[in-house]
Structure 1
Amino acid sequence: MLNLALMLEGTAERLPSREAVVLGDTRLSYAQLNAAANQVANLLVESGVRPGDRVALSCPNLPYFPIAYYGILKAGAVVVPLNVLLKAREIAYHLQDSGAKAYLCFEGTPELPMAAEGWRGFGQAHGCDHFFLMTADPQAPSPIEGATTMGSAVAGQAPRFETVVTEATDTAVILYTSGTTGHPKGAELTHANMVMNALTCWRLFGAADQDVHLVTLPLFHSFGQTVQMNAGLYGGATLVLLPRFDAATALAIMERERVTFFAGVPTMYWGLLSVDRENGNAAAIAANLRMAISGGAALPVEILEQVEKVYGVRIREGYGLSETSPVASFNHPGREAKPGSIGQPIWGVQMKLIDTDGNEVPESEPGEIAIRGHNVMKGYHGRPDATAEVIRGGWFRTGDVARRDEDGYYVIVDRAKDMIVRGGFNVYPREIEETIMTHPDVSLVAVVGVPHESHGEEVKAFVIRNPGSRLTEGELVNWCRERMASYKYPRLVEFRHELPMTSTGKILKRKLRDEA
């Protein structure tokens, strides 16, 4: 038996009065967090959720997230975390593709009306029978027709629950990722995948019971979910939640709560440094901060050096994907941290560089990163062909190209083909292109990432309009905004009469990026 919920349960038994989760004036102990998760588990079982059923969860960084997350796991079900910025069409797709039995959504989710519309769009006809709304006031009526407020639903549920027996190879979490083509695919991560990755991270970071994490990475993403929530709660850390990153707020929290552990994407570090130049929180923060981690995009060496100078801590970069639970490599403490490198493989994980035929490339030559180990996903939910395409002979082919130096450190030289990383969020051009192509005035479109000072990259669409169209850039941007999550839609549009192509008709996106 192995269940990811044990990451919380074990610590609740060992350190029941230790603060587990903090948000403003709300401070939950491990015992309280575990009891609340037990109530959710009882509710789900009473509602007909059975082991192996998928349960979707839309929630920002609030105590509700770990409560619902571990409650779902305790019931033996599979957590399907959804980005809170998804639109109705996208939510409906995720619910249908995962075959969700129930949908848990926070009332303050920015796109709540979209979430409700997405649920109705999927509907009970496909088996998603329950819509539970997590509200601040359990007595208030649900503002969504057909939804039940979580507060009223769990009010009579027992705070005790015997966690359902699950096997190490059973799916624990489905994380949706588009790869580089087509609709988003659900990476099935087993209990073993998630537990082993969290335990390895905990040992790697040298975590202690007295650690205090500032959690501003979205918990619906694998980075914050594994590195901070699962690993942190296993180790007895206190998670101080920040639902939306704001540099000034983050610095104030880091000083007030004596934060020892910060994980973020490069733009977050850039924001902290920019604000701290004016407010001067650095000395108080540096007195407690012992670990800083970066991932999601390449970290500029200049930012790394400034953070070390200002806060007295060396940022350590790592690498991973949703399909690898996510951590695959890291600049290990106790070893040299090489700026610009994603480090070396973590314990229990192997990495190699291969050519297009799957053969290892000669030393120092660039090649595609292939990974195998305890962290590699079970496969893509309901997509055996897509799974077979990326997992061959037990090795997961990432699509990312890197070099390996004489010390075994890996350096990314090119990301997965065409993928855009905007502010730490992965944006996949084909998904954007397929939506834009539904506009009646659009004939052809190519979407690429272009450099941006604070976001790393911005999404830009090169568009050929239909003859006679008077569609403007602003009109198309607004049209996209209504149909895509805020991190996806293109802010930049350029109309052209033609797009550069190869002799076979393939659009030369590299040329468009170079021109941009």
Structure 2
Amino acid sequence: MLENRLLEIVKEHPDKTAIAYDKLRISYQELYANITHLNNHLSTIGIVQGDCIALILPNSPEFAIAFYATAKLNAIVLPINPLLKQEEISYYIIDSNTKAIITNSHESENIRKIISKIGKKIELIVIDSTRSLTKEVDNSRITESTSIFKGDVLYLYSSGSTGKPKRVCRSQDNLSHEITNLSETANISAIDNILCIVPLYHAHGLENCLLAAIYNGATLVILEQVLHEGKPIEVPFAFRRSRVLELIEKEKITILPAVPYILNTLAETPDDTQVDFSTLKLCFSAGNFLSKEIFDKFLQRFGIPVRQLYGSTEAGSIAINLDRDINNTYDSVGLPLKNIEIKIIDDTEKELPSGSIGEIVIKSKAVTKGYCNKPEINQQTFKDGWFFTGDLGKKDEVGRVYITGRKQIFIDTGGHKVDPLEIENILITHSQVKEAVVVGIKSLYAGEIIKAVIVPQNREICDEKDILSYCRGKLADFKIPKIIEFCDEISKSPLGKVLRKNLIDNLSETIKL
């Protein structure tokens, strides 16, 4: 299904730029040639329909090629954050029964160690450089498939109340419906240039950048990696701001998907810096609530209102605020996308009237059929065609949706969404940790700082340096607590529920690291 749509685009716009990356420009015809080349290689090493292929790649043309080459085989893509540590990556590889891993030379040695520890045969494919991309186009290979495959094409992991990530299976049919719904609602077409500055391993980047561009024949402009002595390095987004501003102007960007952290950094561009956003028709934020402060700051600096988009790993994009007079409704995620239904229900699953807060449930052909190997959770979450999101919200009199809270607690730190339960499960495996609770503390900038409150077995033995060292070996750097607090006991309700709000408010005797 995804390949058939790509073939339509290749035939309509063969010489149009599909992907721009630094000085490299890849046409749709060249993109398809590279997809076919990798697809043939995957076939020769025994990858077949239904096999899982993990992509451990940065934002790059190679990611796009690997995704579509896997989809062309009717296999399943598992995008993994390259910043994760070996133990975290191993969990995903084992749980998904991954058959092959596609990575680059920078990550290859680390991945070989992971495969060795797992102790099963997993093919490793190293895509080294954009310079090695295929340029020759064999027109005889551009033939349309006789059948449309609607099966699974994507595994993404969604954290939940257990602290263990749940594997979400999404089909080619799900993704096609999602992108169609978003494109028809937001008027995305072949004339658009979409700037990708959010991770492609995340649903927001994969679906709202890569798929939204390729499915519509638009141009995807990818912010290139920073290289130091020929090796890619991670730097704070603030150091990329000038390059992003340059790309928006140079590439005539029309659509900018982002997150609050990025938007805040862009909005802090000095007043004496010349910026041309005249081509930008749509800038939208997802992943976390957009504050009034950031909305106002961005609007004042660039004259462009940021639209909030509401989505989830299980359903993709669900709603977007496209109000003309958005100043009064900036905090709404807007109306449902085309072909999507949204209801607000109470604890008895009865639909509530406008203005009443309840759980948000949605119905859409873009929604996953469920979590892999989680029958009990699926029975609670997917009922009669409705997806129970776990988010709390309300509707106004015209049907706009407002998100008011979440049943599940996440921490938004530096643009990353982190499940505190995952960190807690690591901390309590430390021999000197009796109990641990992790919360997010609002920072002076966009997002939150991760704080760990620990009840030690022996305060004289357990110290901050030891805790941090332990975390570094098991968690990605962005998940490591920045604040450590030791206490004799953790505040709980009479029913034994941890009073997280008390831990957030109480910063006494806190050690900042």
TM-score (norm 2): 0.90
Q: Distance in 2 between matches of 1:161 and 1:38?
A: 9
Indicate which of 88, 110, 116 corresponds to 1:120: 116
Letter aligned with residue 417 of structure 1: Q
Letter aligned with residue 4 of structure 1: L
Equivalence map 1:362-373=2 (5 Å): 362-373=353-364
Tell me the residue number matched to 1:265. Answer: 259
Superposition deviation, residue 445 in structure 1: 0.2
Task: Write out the 4+ residue segments of structure 1 that deviate beyond 6 Å after TM superposition.
Answer: 154-159, 163-166
SS at match of 2:477: coil
Q: Are residues 364 and 39 of structure 1, via their aligned partners in 2, closer, same or farther at CA, if it must alter by over 3 Å?
A: same
1:399-432 CA distances to partner (integer Å, 9 max, x unpaired)?
Answer: 1111211121111111232222223322111111
SS at match of 2:2: coil
The more displaced of 242-251 and 220-229 is 242-251
1:66-123 CA distances to partner (integer Å, 9 max, x unpaired)?
Answer: 00000000011111111111111111111111111111112234xx544332222223
Q: Residue 134 in 1 paired to residue 123 in 2? A: no
1:193-227 CA distances to partner (integer Å, 9 max, x unpaired)?
Answer: 10111122122222232322211111111111111
**Alpha carbons 2:453, 2:487 under 8 Å: kept:** yes
Superposition deviation, residue 494 in structure 1: 0.7
Indicate which of 484, 494, 505 corresponds to 1:503: 494
The more displaced of 365-374 and 179-188 is 179-188
Tell me the residue number matched to 2:287. Answer: 296
SS at match of 1:406: coil
* Structure 2, unaligned runs of 5 or more: 226-236, 508-513
Indicate which of 362, 373, 383 corresponds to 2:374: 383
Superposition deviation, residue 169 in structure 1: 4.2
**Alpha carbons 2:438, 2:451 under 8 Å: kept:** yes
Q: Distance in 2 between matches of 1:219 and 1:7?
A: 20
**Alpha carbons 2:30, 2:136 under 8 Å: kept:** no
**Alpha carbons 2:115, 2:122 under 8 Å: kept:** no
Q: Residue 327 in 1 paired to residue 317 in 2? A: yes
Tell me the residue number matched to 1:24. Answer: 22
Q: Distance in 2 between matches of 1:356 and 1:263?
A: 34
Q: Residue 235 in 1 paired to residue 226 in 2? A: no
Letter aligned with residue 201 of structure 1: L
Q: Residue 195 in 1 paired to residue 176 in 2? A: yes
Q: Distance in 2 between matches of 1:356 and 1:163?
A: 49
Indicate which of 243, 248, 251 corresponds to 1:249: 243
Q: Distance in 1 between matches of 2:39 and 2:362?
A: 35
Q: Distance in 2 between matches of 1:172 and 1:497?
A: 48
Equivalence map 1:435-454=2 (5 Å): 435-454=426-445
Letter aligned with residue 354 of structure 2: E
Equivalence map 1:388-399=2 (5 Å): 388-399=379-390
**Alpha carbons 1:425, 1:487 under 8 Å: kept:** yes
1:478-510 CA distances to partner (integer Å, 9 max, x unpaired)?
Answer: 321221112222111111111011233332223
Superposition deviation, residue 255 in structure 1: 2.1
Equivalence map 1:19-168=2 (5 Å): 19-109=17-107, 112-124=108-120, 128-136=121-129, 160=141
Tell me the residue number matched to 2:402. Answer: 411
**Alpha carbons 1:23, 1:242 under 8 Å: kept:** yes
Letter aligned with residue 63 of structure 1: P
Tell me the residue number matched to 1:180. Answer: 161
Letter aligned with residue 364 of structure 2: G
Q: Distance in 2 between matches of 1:348 and 1:168?
A: 21
Superposition deviation, residue 137 in structure 1: 8.5
Q: Are residues 55 and 157 of structure 1, via their aligned partners in 2, closer, same or farther at CA, if it must alter by over 3 Å?
A: farther
Q: Distance in 2 between matches of 1:328 and 1:39?
A: 35
1:367-412 CA distances to partner (integer Å, 9 max, x unpaired)?
Answer: 1111111121121122222222211222111111112111211111
Tell me the residue number matched to 1:427. Answer: 418
Tell me the residue number matched to 2:506. Answer: 515
Q: Distance in 2 between matches of 1:195 and 1:273?
A: 33
Q: Distance in 1 between matches of 2:380 and 2:150?
A: 21
SS at match of 1:317: strand
SS at match of 2:93: helix
**Alpha carbons 2:53, 2:99 under 8 Å: kept:** yes
Tell me the residue number matched to 2:303. Answer: 312
**Alpha carbons 2:4, 2:148 under 8 Å: kept:** no
The more displaced of 191-200 and 469-478 is 469-478
Q: Distance in 1 between matches of 2:207 and 2:418?
A: 21
**Alpha carbons 1:353, 1:402 under 8 Å: kept:** yes
SS at match of 2:71: helix
Equivalence map 1:446-485=2 (5 Å): 446-485=437-476
Q: Distance in 1 between matches of 2:190 and 2:263?
A: 25
Q: Are residues 10 and 121 of structure 1, via their aligned partners in 2, closer, same or farther at CA, if it must alter by over 3 Å?
A: farther
Indicate which of 2, 7, 23 corresponds to 1:9: 7
Q: Residue 218 in 1 paired to residue 199 in 2? A: yes
TM-score (norm 1): 0.89
The more displaced of 364-373 and 200-209 is 200-209
**Alpha carbons 1:369, 1:397 under 8 Å: kept:** yes
Q: Are residues 467 and 474 of structure 1, via their aligned partners in 2, closer, same or farther at CA, if it must alter by over 3 Å?
A: closer
Tell me the residue number matched to 1:141. Answer: none
Superposition deviation, residue 164 in structure 1: 6.4
Q: RMSD value over aligned CA atoms?
A: 2.4
Letter aligned with residue 32 of structure 2: N
Q: Distance in 2 between matches of 1:55 and 1:114?
A: 17
SS at match of 2:38: helix
The more displaced of 22-31 and 180-189 is 180-189
Equivalence map 1:481-492=2 (5 Å): 481-492=472-483
**Alpha carbons 1:215, 1:262 under 8 Å: kept:** yes
Letter aligned with residue 134 of structure 1: I
Q: Distance in 2 between matches of 1:277 and 1:474?
A: 41
Letter aligned with residue 161 of structure 2: T
**Alpha carbons 1:308, 1:314 under 8 Å: kept:** yes
Q: Distance in 1 between matches of 2:201 and 2:249?
A: 26
The more displaced of 472-481 and 215-224 is 472-481
Q: Distance in 2 between matches of 1:113 and 1:497?
A: 43
**Alpha carbons 1:216, 1:243 under 8 Å: kept:** no
The more displaced of 161-170 and 266-275 is 161-170
Q: Distance in 2 between matches of 1:167 and 1:500?
A: 55
Q: How much identity, in percent, do the aligned residues show?
A: 29
Letter aligned with residue 11 of structure 1: I
SS at match of 2:42: helix
